[in-house]
Amino acid sequence: MTEPSKIEPKPVTVLRGVGEALALRLGALGVETTEDLLFLLPLRYEDRTRVVPLGELRAGQRAAVEGEVLLTEVVFRGRRQMLCKIADGSGFLTLRFFYFTAQQQSGLARGARIRCFGEARRGPLGLEIVHPEYRRIDPNAVATTEDHLTPIYPLTEGVTQGRLRMLVGMALDQRKAAEVEDWLPAAVLADSQLPSLHQALLYVHRPPAEAPVDLLLSGRHPAQRRLAFEELLAHQLSLKLLRQRIQSDPGWPLDSNGALKADLQAALPFRLTKAQDRTLLEIERDLQLNKPMLRLVQGDVGCGKTLVAALAACHAVQMGRQVALMAPTELLADQHAQNFRRWFEPLGIAVAILTGRLTGKARSAVLDGIRAGHAAIVVGTHALFQESVEFSSLALVIVDEQHRFGVHQRLSLREKGAQGGHQPHQLIMTATPIPRTLAMTAYADLDVSVIDELPPGRTPVKTVVLAETRRDEVVQRIRTACLEGRQTYWVCPLIDESAEMPYQAAEETATALGGALPELSVGLVHGRMPAAAKENTMRRFKEGKIQLLVATTVIEVGVDVPNATLMVIENAERMGLAQLHQLRGRVGRGSHASSCLLLYRAPLSPLARQRLAVMRDTNDGFEVARRDLELRGPGELLGTRQTGLAQMRVADLLRDADLLPRVQIAADAMLHDWPLHVAALIRRWVGHAEQYGRVG
């Protein structure tokens, strides 16, 4: 086994012109060493290998051009600006500068020859480039052009593109890409037809002039694929190590005789689905082991995940231990608390709720009950992992909508249960189904169970896409549904009217609908309302006292009103598929036929048109998730900041999905055969990423 290199990384300050101030700015890009510069990868490329004659230049084209300065003048046209007119015998071009110095003005004197690069656009004087990159050239020297494509790097305040390119070039020349340690053994890359790390780095920073630009721009060049493979492997290894570290401490074996679970099931007016039974069995096997369970339960809206979690909780409660259920919003925490109280309080089990709005004596009483162990089940928001919360014997942590929290917050709650060297079991639930390949990568620290079956009696929701000009028809449909004894949601994306985003605001809509439907009781709920007012409105809607509820997307999760059969979503073209599917899941929860009307404002972009078509064509959450991944990428599907996946520098989970099976094999091989390489590989690509590493 090769020992890790003893070569110390060199700080960026060894590079000429890099002082402490610039080093600090580079730190914002994650660059601290010269090797870090080599792994600061281009976002895209520009072709400056050919100088385009001015007579051939077209609006919208990004190009390198060259010409002689005919005139440079400072003018005042609304604001002070400098205009420089150049010509090359085939045409003319204006260079426009809003920020400039006297030195720049004198350097662009008549007769000077300059080469510049930028995007041409139509201006009042013909084609122009605003703030081009430019340099003076010797008119008598032999004309030369760039010998490779020009990389465009991610920037931070105070570091220009030109400066960054120069620094990366210096790092390439001084460090020599061949000196960079390649942590992937040849056996791992065997038969992959991917280049070495050294070849890949040189190519991505300095693609030759004849490089296939389309392949590079799509991220599919073998050099980029080699780096993507290594980055995906580093992320996979970081999650596998996290799992190992969590499970290195013993868990609480919860091997009860199932009496409490049997009592709860006997009180239910229905039987579990086969998918629920299968998932519960997988959970129970984990709970019996002497190591902490790490399991994700995926399932579509309404598939019965919460009940499965409650039945799992029975094993901890029966053995005298506590259960914590963490939800992302107070609304969802309230919903869970109501369900758990309905199930457990008739069995003599106390259920407490702890959210940020609980204050004073009421909060102190709940905290005392948790500390003393009187509260067997505690439901709450992120308030559960505040310092003041102490559990008596926490053995099971249930986290709903995992992608809303992220690994670090989940681990914080886990620490609450650390007692006597034991760690609590973790059960993660999500109603955002994601494709298996992505789940295996995003949740490599978790075992995955899937509830892929809806309870009997659930009728599919019919989805209709309508232009907002047909609003009157929609209002009539609401009147009909409500007068027949059903209830309706009307969802708006904003609370107030906005000059930048002129969509129908919830408050205006509620007023307008109240006027159009005077015979109906109309309610309003949004995130800025006081918690008590919001809860009161939701409760009245649930009790049937409100027939039409106008709401923002605050109702995306957590509300269960079986009598609601109509969902109207305004400006649906502005929402992502996952969110639309979650909202649609608020109806169709009873035995009556339900509909979801998606109102859009024309004209529709091609992406919006595709999104709405997916919603119309399928009710399958996994199919919706697959299309969401295709249309928008993994970042929004999983929660950008929470997973860290969307911050990958070169890899793309959808584009590089074919690499994932090999990545998983490589991860196991690295941990088994080359463990000394693993930490260095993770440090290179993931850094110290707190979302993975801080596990206590």
pLDDT at residue 539, as a whole number: 80
Distance CA 10, CA 441 (A): 32
CATH class of 462-618: alpha beta
pLDDT at residue 644, as a whole number: 37
305-318 and 259-267 are packed helices; what angle lies between their axes, rounded to 10 degrees?
140
Arithmetic mean of pLDDT, 55-61:
91
pLDDT at residue 24, as a whole number: 87
3-state secondary structure 334-350: HHHHHHHHHHHHHHCCC
Distance CA 355, CA 31 (A): 40
pLDDT at residue 378, as a whole number: 95
Question: Which one has a higher pLDDT value, 227 or 418?
Answer: 227
Q: Identify which of 101-105, 355-359, 431-435, 638-642 has the greatest average pLDDT.
A: 101-105
Q: Is residue 76 within a helix (H) or strand (E), and if so which, with residue range?
A: strand 62-76
Q: What three-state secondary structure class fits 633?
A: coil
Confidence of residue 142 (pLDDT cuts 50, 70, 90): low
CATH 2.40.50.140 residue ranges for the chain: 50-145
Arithmetic mean of pLDDT, 641-661:
67
Spatial neighbors of 500 by CB under 8 A, at least 6 apart, are none
Least confident of 136-150, 287-301, 390-404, 533-547: 136-150
Asked whether 305 and 398 are in contact (CB, 8 A), the reply is no
Confidence of residue 691 (pLDDT cuts 50, 70, 90): very low
Beta-carbon count within 10 A of 269 CB: 4
pLDDT digits (tens, 9 = 90+) for 515-534: 999 999 999 988 777 877 88
CATH for 50-145 is 2.40.50.140
Whether pLDDT at 304 is above 60: yes
In the chain, the percentage of residues whose pLDDT exceeds 70 is 87
Whether pLDDT at 557 is above 80: no
Q: Identify which of 177-191, 623-637, 659-673 has the greatest average pLDDT.
A: 659-673
Beta bridge partners of 322: 394
Pair of tokens at residue 63: 């190009």
Distance CA 343, CA 351 (A): 10
Asked whether 433 and 442 are in contact (CB, 8 A), the reply is no
Closest CA to 39 of 198, 201, 259, 256: 201
Arithmetic mean of pLDDT, 684-692:
60
Whether pLDDT at 456 is above 90: no
Whether pLDDT at 609 is above 60: yes
pLDDT at residue 543, as a whole number: 87
Least confident of 137-151, 159-173, 202-216, 335-349: 137-151
Least confident of 172-176, 204-208, 259-263, 335-339: 172-176
CATH 3.40.50.300 residue ranges for the chain: 259-451, 462-618
Q: Give pTM, 2 decimals.
A: 0.67
Whether pLDDT at 600 is above 50: yes
pLDDT at residue 176, as a whole number: 59
Beta bridge partners of 423: 251
Spatial neighbors of 76 by CB under 8 A, at least 6 apart, are none
pLDDT at residue 58, as a whole number: 92
Asked whether 488 and 478 are in contact (CB, 8 A), the reply is yes
DSSP class of residue 120 equals: -
pLDDT at residue 355, as a whole number: 85
What architecture is domain 259-451?
A: 3-Layer(aba) Sandwich (3.40)
Distance CA 324, CA 587 (A): 28
Whether pLDDT at 252 is above 90: no
DSSP class of residue 444 equals: T
pLDDT at residue 279, as a whole number: 96
DSSP class of residue 51 equals: B
Q: What three-state secondary structure class fits 447?
A: strand
Confidence of residue 403 (pLDDT cuts 50, 70, 90): low
The residue to which tokens 């020349």 are assigned: 173
pLDDT at residue 632, as a whole number: 59
pLDDT at residue 427, as a whole number: 93
Spatial neighbors of 159 by CB under 8 A, at least 6 apart, are 22, 25, 26, 29
Whether pLDDT at 643 is above 70: no
Pair type for strands 425-430 and 377-380? unpaired
Least confident of 154-158, 437-441, 669-673: 437-441
Sequential DSSP letters for 478-540: HHHHHHTT-EEEEE-SBSS--SSS-PPBHHHHHHHHHHH-TTS-EEEE-TTS-HHHHHHHHHH
Whether pLDDT at 401 is above 80: no
Sequential DSSP letters for 135-203: EE--TTSPP---SBPEEE----TT--HHHHHHHHHHHHHHH-GGGS---S-HHHHTTS----HHHHHHH
Cα-Cα end-to-end distance for the chain? 29
pLDDT at residue 194, as a whole number: 87
pLDDT at residue 4, as a whole number: 53
Confidence of residue 92 (pLDDT cuts 50, 70, 90): very high
Pair of tokens at residue 330: 């107070």
Question: Which one has a higher pLDDT value, 4 or 619?
Answer: 619
pLDDT at residue 585, as a whole number: 84
pLDDT at residue 381, as a whole number: 86
Arithmetic mean of pLDDT, 151-175:
83
Arithmetic mean of pLDDT, 318-327:
93
Question: Which one has a higher pLDDT value, 283 or 603?
Answer: 283
pLDDT at residue 413, as a whole number: 62
What ranges make up the beta strands (E) of 561-613? 564-569, 595-600
DSSP class of residue 190 equals: T
DSSP class of residue 162 equals: H
pLDDT at residue 406, as a whole number: 57
Arithmetic mean of pLDDT, 364-382:
91
Arithmetic mean of pLDDT, 579-588:
85
Confidence of residue 247 (pLDDT cuts 50, 70, 90): confident
pLDDT at residue 689, as a whole number: 46
Sequential DSSP letters for 356-370: TT--HHHHHHHHHHH
Confidence of residue 504 (pLDDT cuts 50, 70, 90): very low
Closest CA to 535 of 403, 353, 351: 353
Least confident of 41-55, 350-364, 627-641, 643-657: 627-641
Mean pLDDT of the chain: 83
pLDDT at residue 11, as a whole number: 83
Distance CA 128, CA 385 (A): 57
Question: Which one has a higher pLDDT value, 144 or 495?
Answer: 144
Question: Which one has a higher pLDDT value, 184 or 349?
Answer: 349
